[in-house]
Amino acid sequence: MAFLTANDSVKVRIPDTLHHYITFVPYLELIAQGKPRRVDIKADEIGVIFEYYDIGGKKQAQRLKVGIKEYAYAEEDHNKNYGFGTISFATR
């Protein structure tokens, strides 16, 4: 993201709908495939626009591609989760 410098990070709160999608879709695929040990799903990329104010107070916008990878295991983890996922951001 344009407003970060090298080795910086920022927490981004994702909408609950996206969180549910990342965890529920792999579980459904796991069931559809007869509960193999693990299933992996690479979803289509989506776009997002971050709006922020620069140091001079001018509003800036940056378009990013959001990559979503999802996976699920046949056995739940200690928190009773089956589905997991990762979200990555890229400028191109």
Q: Is 39 exposed, middle or buried (0-12, 13-18, 19+ CB in 10 A)?
A: buried
pLDDT given at position 74:
67
Mean pLDDT over residues 52-57, rounded?
85
More confident residue, 88 or 54: 54
Residue pLDDT, tens place only, 1-47: 566 666 777 777 777 887 777 777 777 877 888 877 778 777 667 78
Contact by Cβ (8 Å): 11, 73: no
| Lowest mean pLDDT across 25-34, 62-71, 72-81 | 72-81
User: Are the beta carbons of 74 and 35 closer than 8 angstroms?
Assistant: yes
Strand partners, 88: 67
Q: Is 80 left (phi over 0), alpha (psi -120 to 50) or beta?
A: left
Bigger pLDDT: 56 vs 84: 56
